Structure 1
C-alpha cells in the first residue's frame, strides 16, 4: 500500500476515534471544604474563611459558635475543584468579642451541609499611651480573658510592681473584656531616651497577656497631619535641662520657627515647619542631643509647588508665578532664581503659605531655564525647562468673517513639534500638525464661530509652550436668518445661512428642536427634509462663500410652540436661532352669495403668512366634489398676504346650497353659496310686457305733469327758472320714454341678462309714476321741494331706462 495513503488512513482513524470518544462528565463535587487563614488570634483580628461547597449557586452562611450568631453571608461563585465542578466562596470576618479559648466557625452551604472549624482566642492588652514618664497615667484595655474574672496588673523590668488600678477592683465582662488605668510608680526609673518595661494582666484562671511600656521622654504634636509648610506645635517632657531641641521628619531636618530650649524641669514647647516632602507618613524624631523621642507620626498631605502662567516666553514678556504649601506664616520671603540669575526676584507668603508674583522674563539667550522658588524656612520647588524663545507670526488677511480662510505663517517655535492655533481660546488647529525642522509653520485655517464681530487674538502655541499672538478682526459672525421668525405650518418661511466654512460643498447639519420644561431636548427633526433651495444653492451644503438660501414649509402635524433651529457644518461652525410655530389668522370668502349655473365664482383670501398652491374643495348639494387649485396667497398688502382664484360653475350646476372648505396652516375654513335657477325667455318676456305697460302709464303721467308744470310756470315768478329747467327735463324724459316704448316693441332674442335691469327700471318707473301723481295732486300749491322730489325720481327712472336700452343694444348686436 502506498505510504501516503496509509498515513492518511491512520490520521483519519485517529480523528474518528477522538470524535467518538465519550466526553468527561462534570458533576457537582460531593464535598464541603473550609479553610481558615488563621486558627488562633485575638479579638478584633481579621481572618479569611474560604472553601468549596456542593452547590454552584446560592449563599454560604458563616456563624460564630452557633447558628444564632451569624457573622456574614456570602454568594457562591463557580470554580473547579479537582476535575469536578464546584462552588467557591471567600469572606473576611472579624473575630468577635468573646472569652479566651476555643470557638467554632460554622459554615453552612446552600444545600444545608455544614463544616466546623476551631478558632482559639488568646488574651490581649493594649496600652495608651505606650510611652510615658513616672507618675503618668496609662489606660489598659484587655480582651479574650476568662469571663467575669478578677484582673491583676504588674509592671516589671529588673523589678516587679503590683499596680494600683482605677477602678480599684477590675473584673472582666461576660465576654472576657475589661478596661482600667494605672499610674506609673514614682520610683520607676529610666536611662537615656527610655527604658522598656512590661505590663502584664492576669485573670483568676491564670490567663495572661503582656504589652511593652516605654518609660522615658515623651512628645506630643498638633496638628498630626497637613501639607508641607504646616507650622506644628511640639511639646516634650523628660528631656535634658537647658538643652537645645532639634527635629527631623524621618531623616529630613525641620526648620524651627524659633529656637527651642529645654526648661529646668525637662519640658519644652515650640514650633517647627514641615519641610518640602512627598505625601506620606513620617516619624517625628525630637532630640536634645542626648535623649531622643521618635515614636510620634505626622502625615504629609501635600507638597510644596510652584506654577508658571506660561511654559515659554520672549525676553521682556510678563509671566506670573504662583506658589503653594510654602511656610504657613504671613510675610515669609520667597526668593526666585531664574536660571543662573540667583535672587532675580522676591515674593512674600500669606498666612496659608501661598504667594503670587508677576515678573519680566530677563534679557537672556534663547533656551531652557529652571525657575526655582525658596522661602526663608527652606521650602522650595523648581519649575523645570522654562523656554525663552523669540517668535514671529503673520495672519493674512488680517480680517474677515467667520468661516473665512486665513493664512498663518510663524517662526521661532520648537523644531518638529506639534502645535495648536486658537482664537480667544477657541481651537482652530488642534495639534495634528507639527512645525518643520527649523521651528517654522505655514498653514491655512478657517475662522471659527465667535460671539460677535470685533478684534480677537489668534495664538499659536507648540507642545513646549512656545507661543506667538496676532490680532484678527472678525467682520461677520456665523448666523441663521429665518423670515418670518413666527409662522404657521404650511406657510413659506425664508431661511438663510451666512458665514459658514467658505468652501463650496461643505456639509451642514440643520435641525429644528424644542425643549422640555427641564431644558432637555424634547423633539428634534432634520429641517432639510422640508427645505427647497433657491436657484444657485444646494440643500445640505453651503456655497463657496459659506452661504445658503432657500424656503421651507413645516407639515400640518407640526406641534404649535417654540423651537430652536441649529446649523452646524463639518468644521464645527454653528449658529442657532429661535423660531415659533403659531396658528395662522386666515380670512377667505366668495365674491357673492348667489350665482347662476355657468357663473364664475371668485374666492378671495388673506393671511399674515405667505402660502402657495392652496386647494379649495367645493361640494354641490349632491356632495359631488370639485377641486379649486393654485390659490396663491403671496401678494403683500399692508400687513397681510392676499390672493384670489376663480372657479366656473358647470352649465348644468345643481340648484341649491353649495359648500366649500380648505385647510391652511392646519386651520380649516369653510363656507356656502347658493346656486339659483337662471330666468327663462318666457318669464323675461312677461316681465318686459309688464314693464312696457308701466312705461306707457308713466308716459301719460309725465304728459299730464308737463301740462301742469306749463300752467304753473306762468304763475310762479320766484320759481320761473327752476320750472323752466324742470319743463325742459320733463320734455326730454317724454322723448326718452317714447323711444323706449318703440324699442320694447321690437325686443327679441336672448334677454336673460336684462332681467335684473328690467326689474330695476320697473321699480324706478313706478317711483316716478308715484311722484308724478303726487306732483299732479299738489299742482295748486306746488313748492320747490316737491319739484325737487319729482326731478330726482324722474332722473332715477331715466337711468334705469338707459340701462335697459344699453342691454337691448348688446342683445341685438
Structure 2
C-alpha cells in the first residue's frame, strides 16, 4: 500500500490510500524490510460504503456513471434518483447491479426526461440491508473546464450548456471565482447560443493556493465547477537593495499565460517606465531603474499585468555591503567578514550553498558588524555564501572559491595487517593548535570510535597551527582488539566550535584495507662447511622492522644475532626484502661466516618479529671443509701449461716477423740473424719449460736461465739493431717484455706451489 523510512528511534509515519474492499473492519500489517520483522497494528480501520458520480450536474437524458466502493460481497444494489427523501428506482445498465467480491460496482443511468431544474439525490443501497450511500446531483445549467487545476494566470476554457438561449454581452461580471470576477481573454464579451451553450476563455486571477469554485450565470441560470489554485503570482528582485539611479533586475511568474501581456510597475508608489511583457508560460524578466527615494527604508515594488494579476516584493533603498578577507582559500581556513548598511535590529545569518550555517549573531543596535568563520568541508570549486540581515529581511550573495579540501593520506596506502603501525597525514584542517579530533573507523556493518588510538609522539593526535595532522595508528590496537581482513573507512572530524561557536565540523575520510600478511623466509642451503658464509632468503609483504635473526650452535649457545632494522628492508616488486648484504650481525659489518673453530653438527636458526612472535625457524648442518689440494694442483699445472704454450706461439710469431724484416734491410742482415738466433734460443727454452711442467722445480730453474739469456739477447739486439727503424725496435721490445712477463708468472706460480 505504501512504504516509508523509519526514524533513528524506531518510530515511523506512513500514509496510504484505502484500497477498494468490502465494508467492515480491516487490519494493517507492517514489515521491517531491514530485519524481516512483521507486526499487525492493534487497531483496525473500518471501510465504509461510498459512491461517486461521473458528473454532479447535468441535463435531462444525460448519461451518468455511478461507482460504488466498500459495500458487501456480491450484494444486489438498488439505485434511486429523485428529490431528497423521494428517490425512486431508476433503470440502470446493467439492469441488475451486483457488487464484486471486493464490494465494488459500476453502473450507468440516464437523467429522466423532463426532469425540472433543481437539486436531486442519487442513492445506492444494498438490497434488503441498511447499507447505503448517496450523492447530490443538480439538474440544470452546467459548465465544464478544460483544466481543473493550475496556478494564477492559467487560461481556462469554460464550456456551458443548459443556459438561457441567445443571451448576449455576458462579461467578467458573469464569471467569478470565489466571488471575484475573472478576466475574459481579449476583454471580449460572450454570448450563449440558440440552444443555451457557450465556450469562453477566462484567466485565473491572483488568488491564494487552494480549492476554489468557478461560477457562471446568465442572470437566471447558474452553474459551478471546482478549480484548485496551485500557485500564486510572485515577483523577485535582484539585488534586494539599491541606491537611486541603480539598475535592478525583476522577474515574475504565475502571471497571465498569454505571450505579450503588458506589465506596469511602481516602486515606493512611484511609477517606473518599462517595456517588459509576459511570456506564454506566465513568466517575465527585465530591468528597472531605481527612482529617487529616501535612503535607509524598504520600498514596495508592485507589478500588475493587463489582466489584473499582481504581486509585490520589497527592496531596500540603500546599500548593504559585505566583504571577505579572502575570496579563495582551502577548507579549514579562517575568513574575516565585515558587513555595513544593516538595519540594526534582530540578527545576521551566514550560510553556504543555502545549507550549512557558518555564522549567526545579534546585530546589537549597530549597522555594521565584523566576524570570522571557518571554511567547512566543501568540495573544491566555487560556492555561494549568503549573508542575511534579518532586520531588513534581505540577503547578499558572495562567491568564495575553495582551493583545496581537507584530506587524509595513509602510509602504506594499500593497507596494512593487524598490529602494524600506519602513518596518517591530514591537511587543510582548522589552522589552530590543539583542536580535538574524533576518529571513526567503520565498515559495512559496524563502526568504532578509535580517537584514543590515533597518536602523535605518544599523545592523542590534535591539529597544529597550520591545520595539519601528523599521527600514527597501530592497527587493531586499543579500542578495537581485532579487525577482520577487509575494507574500512577512516573518518576524522574536527570540532572548531570551542573558538568558533557556529563553526560546522571540518572532516575528511579515506578508505583503508586490513590485509593478510605474508612472509617467505628460508636458509639458502641445508649444509655448510667451516669457512662458509650463511645467508637467507627473507621477504614479506610488509617490512618486519626490528625482527631478530638468531643462530644457535649444537650446544645451544647463541652464536650470532642480527637485528633487521627499517633501513635493511628494500622494496622489490610487491615484496619487502632483506638483501644478503644487509644480513649482518649486530656487532659486525658482514654476513655470518663459520669460523675454523665452529662446532660440527646440527645448528638451529630462528627469526622473530619485534613483538617476539616467531616468524620462521629451521636448522642446518655444519661439516668439515673438504680437502681439495689435488684439484688445486691440477688446476695450476693446467694453467702453467696453457701459459707456456701461449708464450711459445708468441715467440715463434716474433721470429717470423724478424725474418720478414731481414729481407727489407740488407745492411743489417747479420744483426737480424743474430736476433733471430736469440729468438730461436728463447723458443727452445720455452719448449724445454713446457716439457718440464711436471717438475715444477726444474721449470723454475730453467725459467731463471731463460731470463738471463733473454737479458743478454736484449743487449745484443740493442747493439745489432742500431740501424732498425722505430717500428722494429717496438716489435722486438714488446716480444721480449711478453716473454719476461710469462717467465715471471711461472716463477710466482712455482713458488706458491712449493710453499
What is the TM-score when the length of structure 2 is the normalising length? 0.60
Q: C-alpha offsets along residues 332-389 of structure 1, whole Å, 9 cap, x if unaligned?
A: 2343433323345454333333334455655642321223332222222223x43344
Which residue of 2 is the match for residue 508 of structure 1?
Answer: 437
Pairing 1:241–2:188 present: no
- Return 784-793 or 574-583, whichever deviates more: 784-793
Match of 2:465 among 502, 525, 544: 544
Q: Does the 8 Å CA contact 2:239/2:248 hold for their aligned counterparts? A: no
- 1:7-51 Cα shifts (integer Å, max 9, x gaps): xxxxxxxxxxxxxxxxxxxxxxxxxxxxxxxxxxxxxxxxxxxxx
Match of 1:747 in 2: none
| 2:362 alignment partner in structure 1 | 434
State the 1:313 CA deviation. 2.5
Aligned to 2:678: 717
C-alpha distance in 2 between matches for 1:210 and 1:592: 103
The 2-side partners of 1:581 and 1:475 are apart by 32
Deviation at 1:251, TM superposition (A): 1.1
Q: Distance in 2 between matches of 1:396 and 1:389?
A: 23
Which of 321, 345, 349 matches 1:420?
A: 349
Distance 2:305 2:399 in 1: 40
Cα deviation for residue 255 of structure 1 reads 0.9
Q: Deviations over 1:729-753 (max 9, x none)?
A: 99xxxxxxxxxxxxxxxxxxxxxxx
Match of 2:389 among 440, 456, 462: 462
Query: Residue by residue, what CA displacement relative to the aligned partner does 1:157-181 show, whole Å, maximum 9, x if unpaired?
Result: xxx9x999799x9789899999643
Aligned residues: 604
- Distance change (3 Å), C-alpha of 1:304 and 1:719: farther
Alpha-carbon distance change, 792 to 561 in structure 1, aligned in 2, over 3 angstroms: farther
Partner Cα distance (1:555, 1:128) in 2:
71
Give yes or no for contact 1:663–1:669 (8 Å, CA) kept in 2. Answer: no
CA distance in 2, matches of 1:659, 1:313: 85
Q: Give the superposition deviation at 1:435.
A: 1.9
Q: In the alignment, what sits opposite 2:203?
A: 273
1:552 and 1:172 map into 2 onto residues whose CA distance is: 79
Alignment partner, residue 729 of structure 2: none
Determine if contact 2:461/2:470 at 8 Å carries over to the other structure.
Answer: no
Q: Check whether the contact 1:389–1:413 (CA below 8 A) recurs between aligned residues.
A: no
User: Helix, strand or coil: the match of 1:276?
Assistant: coil
In structure 2, the residue matched to 1:94 is: 48
SS in 1 for 2:282: coil
Distance 2:527 2:516 in 1: 31
Q: What is the aligned partner in structure 2 of residue 616 from structure 1?
A: 549
Q: Alpha-carbon deviation of 1:239? A: 1.7
Q: In structure 2, which of residues 493, 505, 511 is the aligned counterpart of residue 568 of structure 1? A: 493
SS at match of 1:718: helix
Q: In the superposition, relative to structure 1, how do residues 231 and 408 fare at CA in structure 2: closer, same or farther (>3 Å)?
A: closer
Within the candidate set 437, 440, 445, 2:373 is matched to: 445
Matched, 1:795 2:744: no
Alignment-derived partner of residue 147 in structure 2: 223
Change (3 A) 1:554 1:247: same
CA–CA separation in structure 1 for the residues paired with 2:562 and 2:508: 38
Q: Deviations over 1:755-811 (max 9, x none)?
A: xxxxxxxxxx99958988999xxxxxxxx999999875653454577xx7xxxxxxx
CA radius of gyration, larger in: 1
* Aligned residue in 1 for 2:38: none
| 1:634 equivalent among 567, 571, 577 | 567
Change (3 A) 1:128 1:486: closer
SS at match of 2:453: helix
Q: Answer yes or no: is the 8 Å Cα contact 1:492–1:611 preserved in 2.
A: no
Gaps of 5+ in 1: 1-68, 76-87, 98-125, 515-519, 731-764, 776-783, 805-813
Alignment of 1:330-479 (within 5 A): 330-343=259-272, 345=274, 347-357=276-286, 359=288, 364=293, 365-383=295-313, 385-396=314-325, 401-422=330-351, 427=356, 429-431=358-360, 433-449=361-377, 451-452=379-380, 460-463=387-390, 464-467=392-395, 477-479=405-407
Counterparts of 2:50 and 2:387 in 1: how far apart (Å)? 66
Unaligned runs of 5+ in 2: 1-21, 29-41, 497-504, 587-591, 649-674, 704-735
Query: Do the aligned partners of 2:600 and 2:621 also contact (CA within 8 Å) in 1?
Result: no
What is the aligned-residue RMSD (CA, Å)?
Answer: 6.4
2:622 is aligned to 675
Distance 1:770 1:249, change over 3 A: farther
Q: Distance in 1 between matches of 2:203 and 2:275?
A: 20
Are the equivalent residues in 1 in contact too, given 2:351–2:386 (CA < 8 A)? Answer: yes
Aligned 8 A contact 1:457 1:470 in 2 = yes
Displacement, 1:420? Answer: 3.0
Please list, as runs of the form range in 1=range in 2, the aligned pairs for 1:29-428 lying within 5 A after superposition: 71-72=24-25, 92=46, 94=48, 136-137=61-62, 180-181=109-110, 184-185=113-114, 216-234=140-158, 235-245=160-170, 246-257=174-185, 258-289=188-219, 291-294=220-223, 296-308=224-236, 312-315=240-243, 321-343=250-272, 345=274, 347-357=276-286, 359=288, 364=293, 365-383=295-313, 385-396=314-325, 401-422=330-351, 427=356
1:437 Cα shift? 0.8
Q: 1:403, 1:150 → 2: CA distance?
A: 76
> How far, CA to CA, are the matches of 2:577 and 2:47 in structure 1?
84
Deviations 1:504-543 (A, max 9, x none): 11122345666xxxxx57776748736553xxx9541022
CA shift, 1:498, in A, is: 3.0
Aligned-residue offset at 1:318: 6.6
- 1:655 is the counterpart of 2:601: yes
- Residue 646 of structure 1: SS of its match in structure 2? coil
Take 1:527 and 1:91, find their aligned partners in 2: how far apart are those partners?
A: 51
CA contact (8 A) 2:454 2:461 kept: no
Shift of residue 595, structure 1, vs aligned partner: 6.4
2:453 pairs with 1:529: yes
Aligned to 1:18: none
Deviation at 1:586, TM superposition (A): 7.4
Does structure 2 retain, via aligned residues, the 8 Å contact 1:588–1:603?
Answer: yes
Q: Which residue of structure 1 aligns with residue 651 of structure 2?
A: none
Of the structure 1 ranges 260-269 and 210-219, higher mean CA displacement relative to structure 2 is found in 210-219
Give the secondary structure class of the aligned counterpart of 1:415: coil
Question: What SS does the corresponding residue of 1:445 show, helix, strand or coil?
Answer: strand
